[in-house]
Chains A and B, each alone.
Chain A
Amino acid sequence: MEHYLVAMGVTAGIYAIMALGMNVIWGMAGLINLGLVGFFAVGAYASGLLTLKLGWPIVAGVAAGAVAASLVGVAVALITVRLRGDYLAIVTLGFAETMRIVMSNELWIANGTDGLSGIPGPFRQALGPHGFNLLFLGIVVAATALLFFLFQRLDNSPFGRVLRGIREDEQVVQVAGKNVVMFKVKAFAVGTAALGMAGALYGHFTSYIAPDLFAPLLTLYIKLSLLAGGLGNNIGAVVGAVLVVFFLESTRFIVPFIPEISAVQGAALREILIAVALLLILRTRARGLIPERLAQVRIPPSVPASLSLKP
């Protein structure tokens, strides 16, 4: 049981890193990204291949995974940044699907659908399975904390304020003399770097990645995390991710108790639950457990007498 909880904690941490990254793109800048799994996969494959085939150290592999995902993110953003957000939605979704097709068919890159196995993990042999999981939990928690700290700084910086401005009204930000296009691309660069890092960590934890693992459903889980926790703030992203993992794992236990239901039907039911939960939050416009706090500009009730113009 303890073993299981530790593994669940690692999953929650990886989800939290993805939610933090997605929060920059969607929560702060208000941009859509339906291809989350694609960037996650780029990070996982880049790090997996570099450490496995070229013998890079794991830390360098994870960094390279983040950089690779970020570069792809910049390319995707640049193509659509001047157009309406719908095009970004289509291109990101298309990218994730194409990524999966390429990885399934190009055997020379990473064994196609068989996937990449034996990805090294830090001290995996020395610590044994349980010790390794505990160590990895520590690593993931540390990574989440570091990212949380950085993104919190980003959120409160002028950069974060411009992103929120773009989310609320692009034109106003443009009038204020900001280069909206550049800010959008940067938001994508930062957010997708976190997604890539999460993918890389996932690969080193499970030691095995395959195209099947990168199903579009993961995108939905992270979106639900953000909505449940409170879109637009980093604490909400982390809390939401933990909640969603807890929810997902608990349905895994509940569904088998429903009588006369096959495994496929159980899996379908779980996915319906997730999708309906997401729709309900969107529909009720609930702002999540920890709603984003916006700076309130205080307007004095009336002009002080000392300032009024004397006749």
Chain B
Amino acid sequence: MEVAQLVLNGVMAGTVLAVPAIGLTAIFAVLRFTNFALASHMTIGAFAGFVANTTFGLPIVPSLATAFLVSGFFGWMSDEFVLRRLRASGFVTTAIGSIALTIALENFVRFGFGNQMRGYDLPLRRDWVIQGLRVSPQQVENLAIAVVVVALLFAFLALTRTGKAMRAVADNPMLASIKGINSDTVARLVSFIAMGLAGLGGMLTGLDTTIDPLVGFRTILSVFAAAVVGGLGSIPGAVVGALVVGIGEELSLLFLTPAYRTAVGFLAILLVLTLRPRGILGQRAY
């Protein structure tokens, strides 16, 4: 029974984790670098949603939309003014730049909001108990929102012209540019959507617990683990990887203390890189 409960929790945590993991893997697929600034964009999204929710009194869904738009905007701007110029100097420089960027942005949030923990304005609700399994309505809502967002994203990539252009650039930038796809536009769009997803993921993570400026940095190892386990650069992989990492982190509670949750993500990274570097659904190990 305990195992069933943990797996259920893992599926819910994993679905939420899939949202920022897709953002990370999309940036890697199209722009070909690991963007550590994802951490601060999760924080920015969480706080943008917090302001929308508590200061302006918006319900959760519009607040989540605010989180997506604000962190997406920051992602677009930070790519336009910072990371785009660094990409020409290679991925080592870009990755280090993205770490510096994440620390700068995280501290902007800290400057404005301080270090204390904050919670969203949520109605208090009793947990549901179904056949001995306990779930909170909030978790179910988060799960539903994450599923809808991921489904919308898949539809966007599969059906729209812009989505196809993005996949084309990810697949082969040279061929895409021969076909007249403007890679700069695609880069802007990917930065906006991916960092928007990071912000949305940051707020979804915060809805379950509390938020503070470190909310992104605490989660980033799990996000990276999800992307690497699924196969860096593969969007379906990020979803599968997030579920694996989410369930794995919960199941680890059977024999580890909760503090080691993020260490489980790291262990998953090591395991995958040793046994199958391209991940579950990745096509190549780069």
> A residues touching B (Cβ–Cβ < 8 Å)?
26, 30-32, 34, 79-80, 82-87, 89-91, 93-95, 97-98, 101-102, 104-105, 216-217, 219-220, 223, 262, 264-265, 267-269, 271-272, 274-276, 278-279, 282-283, 285
Contact = CB atoms under 8 A, between A and B. Distances in A.
Contact of A279 (B82, B110, B221): B82
A278 B96 CA distance: 9
A268 B228 contact: no
A94 B111 contact: no
B96 A223 contact: yes
B265 A264 contact: no
B101 interface: yes
B55 interface: no
A83 B28 contact: no
Nearest to B111: A268
A264 B266 contact: no
B217 to A, nearest CB: 8
A271 B114 CA distance: 14
B91 to A, nearest CB: 6
A94 B265 contact: yes
Nearest to A89: B95
B99 A220 contact: yes
Contacts of A268: 107-108, 110-111
Interface string B260-276: 10110110011001100
Interface in B97-128: 97, 99-101, 103-104, 107-108, 110-111, 114-115
Given A89-B34, A90-B269, A101-B263, A279 B286 contact: no
Given A84-B286, A85-B91, A32 B96 contact: yes
Nearest to A275: B104
A83 B277 contact: yes
Given A220-B103, A279-B82, A86 B34 contact: yes
A94 B89 CA distance: 24
B232 interface: yes
Contacts of A264: 110, 114-115
A265 to B, nearest CB: 5
Nearest to A265: B111
Nearest to B88: A285
Given A86-B95, A98-B266, A79 B224 contact: no
A269 B114 CA distance: 12
A226 B85 CA distance: 20
Contacts of A83: 273, 277, 285-286
Scoring A31, A267, A279 by chain B CB atoms within 10 A of each residue's CB, the highest score goes to A279
Minimum-distance CB pairs A-B, first 7 = A275-B104, A268-B107, A94-B266, A84-B286, A268-B111, A268-B110, A278-B100
Contacts of B36: 34, 89, 93
B257 interface: yes
A90 B224 contact: yes
A246 to B, nearest CB: 20
B220 to A, nearest CB: 8
Given A220-B99, A262-B114, A79 B286 contact: no
A282 B97 contact: yes
Interface string B231-266: 010000000000000000000000001011011011
Nearest to B264: A98
B193 to A, nearest CB: 20
B175 interface: no
B177 interface: no
Contacts of B277: 82-83, 87
B228 to A, nearest CB: 6
Given A79-B274, A268-B110, A272-B107, A91 B269 contact: yes
B259 A101 contact: yes
17 contacts: A30-B92, A31-B92, A82-B277, A86-B286, A89-B92, A90-B34, A93-B221, A98-B221, A98-B266, A217-B103, A220-B100, A223-B100, A262-B114, A276-B104, A279-B82, A282-B89, A282-B100
